[in-house]
Amino acid sequence: MSPIIELEGLNVEFGHGRRRTTAVAGVSLALSAGECLALVGESGSGKSVTARTLVGLTAPGAAVRAERFLVEGRDAAAFGEREWRRVRGRTVGLVLQDALSALDPLRRVGAEVGEPLLAHRVLPKAEVPGRVEELLRDVGVPEPAGRARQYPHQLSGGLRQRALIASALAAGPRVLVADEPTTALDVTVQAQVLDLLGELKAKGTALLLISHDLAVVARLADRIAVMKDGRIVESGPAERVLGAPEHPYTRVLLAAAPDPDRPAAEAAPADPGTGRLLTARGLVKRYRTPDGGLREAVADVSFGLAPGETLGIVGESGSGKSTTAQLVMGMLAPDAGEVLLDGRPWSALPERLRRPARSAVQLVHQDPLASFDPRFTVRRILAEALAVAGVARGAARRERAVELLAQVGLGEQHLERRPHGLSGGQRQRVAIARALATGPRLLVCDEPVSALDVSVQAQVLELLARLRAELGLAMLFISHDLAVVRQVSDRVLVMKDGRAVEYGPAERVFRAPEHPYTRQLLAAVPRLPARSAA
């Protein structure tokens, strides 16, 4: 059987003259019915550009060249806009990352799903609503007629992503290009959407799956191509690439992926969970919903932290884990319950009295760039924190700033840089350096590595582990990623809908989860095959 799409030697360049940059260099791939090819790479690897090129929507101003580019046997390199329009949706469907922004928020779900039917005149107009219902039912949307009349924001994340897939499938394309289709989803929903894509593949759709996550891809891919800096560095059958990687970069990616089944190596402190450092008792935080009701973002959550201990809080979006972090930080006042620091009141203090003690508890945020004043250089960012810590202006402060940078793996040359010019990993290092400046005993890390590429994520986690050992820091580590939480935590708190459903030593929770929800979460985590076999 000949492939539906054949691509050889694809080059994509942006810009002109000196500003010219190559986004994709010499990429070749082929897609046949009923198979799944996965393109895996970190940000900036050129995987999304490649995906968009397959529907002729590379980007305005991009120079696209290919030695050979066939779609259903026809020369796509010579396609004009008119020919491409016939291919889009009809031969190749595209699914983007976040359905909330990838579906038109101002149009009803049904209109979005049915658009390809109208664009390609597949059906008479009168039959479109009926077909839309069928399509939605096929991708597993319950009550399809009602959902079709709703708007995207009224659907849950999982249903929205299903609707997006339905719209890509509407005109019956033979190829589905899915660009990070599950990245914005919670882990349990991700598992369901991956199952749906698997069903489509089984029915004969060719699937190009693009992801940064090898473990996600491992569930579906027949073949895997690993991309770096616009090139495919390694490709082959999925088992071979995952089981016996040849290229060093593939090995780095595999090694960096945190393993949900690997126990943490570090020894727990002597008195875990006793709350000698921090105690949270019966925390409640309510929000007013638009219809006048009350919603409990955090409902009766208690835990304790000993000096040097790491407590991981894990949960899906909306579980209340970030609100818990804000309560611990004293940035929000609880509606009931209290937080004690060193056995003394913390959350109950007025800000004026809490301020002098704030240096003991510091925050590392998910988005470091947002947590820096946009006008500040790294030097001023650190200087502000050092001033709070009482380090005198001048040489002493500068010396201490350089020391802090060295501690997080940065150098003096970063002192005068602005955060915009730093990479994501470097920014997070600066944020950690700032948190360390006041000499804290507790670090609250709210999704500290979620926005980072997997290889950088591994480096930052390593840094946190080393700082913890060297400085005896206690950590409250909040993440949606169970594998990451397992790697760093002594104890774990699992949250769902504002409640703590399970709380205990990390090893026990991961090895023998008691609550059904914890079990469900653990089962849904994508795993690399080599490890689950071991």
Strands 336-341 and 344-345: what pairing? antiparallel
Region class of 236: left (phi > 0), else alpha (psi between -120 and 50), else beta:
left
For residue 222, the minimal CB distance to other proteins (Å) is 24
Per-residue burial over 350-379, b if 16 or more Cβ lie within 10 Å, else e, is eeeebeeebbbbbbbbbebbebbeeeebbb
Question: How many residues belong to the site for other proteins (CB under 8 A)?
Answer: 105
For other proteins, which is the closer residue by CB, 456 or 482? 456
Q: Does 210 bind other proteins (CB under 8 A)?
A: no
* Beta-bridge mates of residue 62: 14
Cα separation values, 248 from 193, 309, 317, Å: 31, 35, 35
Q: Does 409 bind other proteins (CB under 8 A)?
A: yes
Please identify, among the stretches 189-197, 206-214, 234-242, 453-461, the one whose residues bind other proteins according to the rule CB under 8 A: 453-461
For residue 115, the minimal CB distance to other proteins (Å) is 5
Q: Does 232 bind other proteins (CB under 8 A)?
A: no
Window 106-145: residues binding other proteins (CB under 8 A): 106-107, 115-116, 119-120
Q: Does 290 bind other proteins (CB under 8 A)?
A: yes
Q: Does 237 bind other proteins (CB under 8 A)?
A: no
For other proteins, which is the closer residue by CB, 38 or 461? 461
What gap in Å lies between CA 497 and CA 297, rounded to an integer? 7
Window 421-440: residues binding other proteins (CB under 8 A): 421-426, 434, 438
Q: Does 456 bind other proteins (CB under 8 A)?
A: yes
* Beta-bridge mates of residue 315: 495
Half-sphere exposure of 99 (CA within 13 A, CB side): 27
What gap in Å lies between CA 503 and CA 34, rounded to an integer? 44
Please identify, among the stretches 19-27, 262-270, 300-308, 500-508, the one whose residues bind other proteins according to the rule CB under 8 A: 19-27
Please identify, among the stretches 105-113, 204-212, 269-277, 310-318, the one whose residues bind other proteins according to the rule CB under 8 A: 105-113
Nearest CA-CA partner of 109 in 85, 133, 139, 138: 133
For other proteins, which is the closer residue by CB, 222 or 384? 384
Q: Does 329 bind other proteins (CB under 8 A)?
A: yes
Give start and end residues of each alpha helix (H) in 389-505: 395-407, 424-437, 454-471, 482-488
Q: Which one among 140, 459, 497, 505 touches other proteins, defined by CB under 8 A?
A: 459
Q: Does 14 bind other proteins (CB under 8 A)?
A: yes
Q: Does 74 bind other proteins (CB under 8 A)?
A: no
Q: Compute the radius of gyration of the chain from its Cα atoms.
A: 25
Q: Which one among 31, 37, 55, 254 touches other proteins, defined by CB under 8 A?
A: 55
Cα separation values, 512 from 5, 75, 486, 508, Å: 46, 56, 13, 5
Q: Does 85 bind other proteins (CB under 8 A)?
A: yes
For other proteins, which is the closer residue by CB, 219 or 400? 400
For other proteins, which is the closer residue by CB, 422 or 494? 422
Q: Does 154 bind other proteins (CB under 8 A)?
A: yes
Q: Does 407 bind other proteins (CB under 8 A)?
A: yes
Grouping H, G, I as helix, E, B as strand and the rest as coil, residue 281 is strand
Q: Are 319 and 496 in contact (CB under 8 A)?
A: yes
Q: Which one among 453, 481, 490, 502 touches other proteins, defined by CB under 8 A?
A: 453
